[in-house]
Structure 1
């Protein structure tokens, strides 16, 4: 392939695929591997790929005597759209399997980029309400707290969608979300609603943390993409700082009005085990639905999240701290998600990001804010605990993926060795070339 036009068309296809994957939270290593595979399959050997947080760049030089051809695309917006991510993943698989050619791949990619969401907006808002209800159940809230958390979650979704349309930086959207949640809790406490407002705020913290790039940041750091990892970590820190600023402002307003809600919500115990598992399953499944995940994977995500929350609770109740139980539960998510993703024909990222939502450290962040608001500097330790939990979750999930891949390869080899006597039909048949006249 030496024609400049064909080289540019191939680079453009690979770049658009990389941009779509990066926009929807894929790690830099995954984006680089995908772009390189597509370019190599279409005839560009030894192409160079450079992925940062805001740009994807690709260049190719046909021979030492030819000038290199370079193309760049900028990533201007980021959103969680598991449907687009899944369709782009299927497109790459079909292209590499020669089921479609480059022209059809371009057409399909354009359709993915231009097609709107199939889920109506009101359904997404209701699903965010379900996330709030699930988190409230998870942290031990009663039915009153669950109702308030549901209303708060839907209000947060509407508010942040409006602020996104105004093109405000995400930091201010997080500030507004934290302020809205805390003021709603202050209002509930002011009118003597029989509910623990601190649980409402804790549930809101988890919802505002959901979807941030914890996993992608740690994955980039572990795979030597340090510039992208640093940018993603900075984005997460700024978003979390905005959340903390908003909630702190709401608590301050409450104290000025004589409404003190700096309570310390207790953690759920083993007596609430069914409620914890059910709340985790509901919140994870609802988050996947809000992220436009394919319907076939919603129940598996809910089941994985419920079991992971149960593992976390059992280990945390045995005085193992918070970080190690979170890491072990995340490893479980990573291992199981890899196998379930193959069955459901979705990228593992869809399952991992959704199933990890119930384990996000909202409780530790609120405890830290409550202590700092009371001028107790042990709240800094709670903030460090929250950071440790977040890192444990991301690192544990990625370790689970590393463990699952060789296990799956060995299972396939074992399947071949144990594949015989079959009760009906072959388990894995090879195509047999027929001889003429037979």
Structure 2
């Protein structure tokens, strides 16, 4: 095998690993560091990495007398697939530990990207129903509202999957989802059922919010990848705008038909705290299940999400506003997730993304839309509150990772310096020479 061919294989492996991480929500810093670790471990020194929202590029020049070798891959497909994310993370760890070689790593990446999942499609749809039911409990819904929210969530999942097969832009799928949720609530409001239909809308909005994208955007901004952060934020804004357009259209149509939905969703108060915590736990675990997370991490995710929801609800009840309680709860998620991820053998990003779902500001967004639909411009304040909560959640999680990483470093003495808020990938690159020396010592 020629040196050029070997170089191509190493760069191709690193790019394929980076592509799978980026397409599943990993931050640009994590993707860059992981690709650099893979290339360096396999013998390529001083590889140049360039990561944007849609493109990955690696360049390597063996010497000043030789032309550089450069490979590029485009990221066109994005989804929440915690199973692929975990399997790629394990592959990188095995490679850096010299448990597999280059050929085996290339074969494993190909298998990961080409194989499906054992979880049947109907089970994933049922998982989305669990998300809707959990969020409905969290925001104070009763039995009837919880059942309706579960069926609404399953309908949303089927609708968006169908629109995805039609290759429509994601914006239109979000518009359709928001319209479906609001029209369902209008239909419930037109019946004699003693329920608050606005809770159905709120539970559905939380499902449509781009929590994973916002976390990635804040992480990229904090780690200096401003171009990628700007692209992620624009994607989140377009996604949220689609929800706003859909829900506003449904509320307007409901008003034209004489069905007025309540502006402020009901709240259970601390008297319903155990039930609300249960709802947060169920919603987070169901989200992880629907995202193909390993079964072993579902219970820890439920426990972390329930505890974070309790922190948030208690602080809000004591007059702490919404942004600061959200930040405190998110910091808790970041710190605990970093430790639990090692035990569960999953990247922290899997736990963080699922545990933060119940805290997404669906109530504030729904209240803002309801007020704006009635030409009440105080809804702008509610929309600003929703944005503040979303930023607090993302920044709080990253701060939690900053706090947890050096604590674990000092406890285990695994690294010499803080590498940044790593949510997936190796904490520190182990080169082949260092690994061989350690192996020879034993």
Pairwise same-fold verdict (TM > 0.5): yes
Q: Distance in 1 between matches of 2:410 and 2:77?
A: 40
Q: 2:116 aligned with 1:116, yes or no? A: yes
Q: Quote how far apart the aligned CAs of 1:275 are.
A: 1.1
Larger Rg: 1
> Hey, what does 1:34 align to over in structure 2?
34
> Hey, what does 1:23 align to over in structure 2?
23
Q: Distance in 1 between matches of 2:211 and 2:264?
A: 26
Tell me if structure 2 keeps the 8 A contact 1:210–1:357.
Answer: no
> Hey, what does 1:264 align to over in structure 2?
264
SS in 1 for 2:65: coil
Tell me if structure 2 keeps the 8 A contact 1:2–1:62.
Answer: no
Q: Quote how far apart the aligned CAs of 1:228 are.
A: 0.3
1:189-214 CA-to-partner distances (Å, cap 9, x unmatched) read 11222210100000011011155401
> Hey, what does 2:219 align to over in structure 1?
219
The alpha-carbon distance between structure 1 residues 258 and 119, as it changes in their structure 2 partners (threshold 3 A), is same
1:114-152 CA-to-partner distances (Å, cap 9, x unmatched) read 110111000000010011000000000011110110110
Tell me if structure 1 keeps the 8 A contact 2:185–2:201.
Answer: yes
Tell me if structure 2 keeps the 8 A contact 1:80–1:211.
Answer: no
> Hey, what does 2:383 align to over in structure 1?
383
1:297-312 paired onto structure 2 within 5 Å:
297-312=297-312
Q: Distance in 2 between matches of 1:109 and 1:431?
A: 26
Greater RCO between the two (CA within 8 Å, min separation 6)? 2
> Hey, what does 2:426 align to over in structure 1?
none
TM-score (norm: length of structure 2): 0.93
Q: Distance in 1 between matches of 2:314 and 2:189?
A: 32
> Hey, what does 2:281 align to over in structure 1?
281
> Hey, what does 1:8 align to over in structure 2?
8
> Hey, what does 1:426 align to over in structure 2?
none
> Hey, what does 2:48 align to over in structure 1?
48
Contiguous gaps of at least 5 residues in structure 1: 415-429
How many pairs does the alignment contain?
A: 419
More moved, 187-196 vs 305-314: 187-196
Q: Distance in 1 between matches of 2:284 and 2:271?
A: 22
1:360-385 CA-to-partner distances (Å, cap 9, x unmatched) read 00000011111111211111010000
Q: Distance in 1 between matches of 2:351 and 2:74?
A: 27
Q: 2:268 aligned with 1:247, yes or no? A: no
The alpha-carbon distance between structure 1 residues 432 and 33, as it changes in their structure 2 partners (threshold 3 A), is closer
> Hey, what does 1:131 align to over in structure 2?
131
Q: Quote how far apart the aligned CAs of 1:260 are.
A: 1.1
Q: Quote how far apart the aligned CAs of 1:406 are.
A: 1.1
Q: Distance in 2 between matches of 1:35 and 1:172?
A: 34
Q: Distance in 1 between matches of 2:441 and 2:373?
A: 75
Q: Quote how far apart the aligned CAs of 1:26 are.
A: 0.2
Q: Distance in 2 between matches of 1:76 and 1:432?
A: 43
Root-mean-square deviation (CA, aligned residues, Å) is 1.6
The alpha-carbon distance between structure 1 residues 290 and 211, as it changes in their structure 2 partners (threshold 3 A), is farther
> Hey, what does 2:82 align to over in structure 1?
82
1:246-303 CA-to-partner distances (Å, cap 9, x unmatched) read 0000011111111111431133311111011100000000000000000000000000
> Hey, what does 1:295 align to over in structure 2?
295
More moved, 259-268 vs 165-174: 259-268
Q: Quote how far apart the aligned CAs of 1:411 are.
A: 2.3
The alpha-carbon distance between structure 1 residues 61 and 2, as it changes in their structure 2 partners (threshold 3 A), is farther
> Hey, what does 2:173 align to over in structure 1?
173
Q: Distance in 2 between matches of 1:432 and 1:74?
A: 40
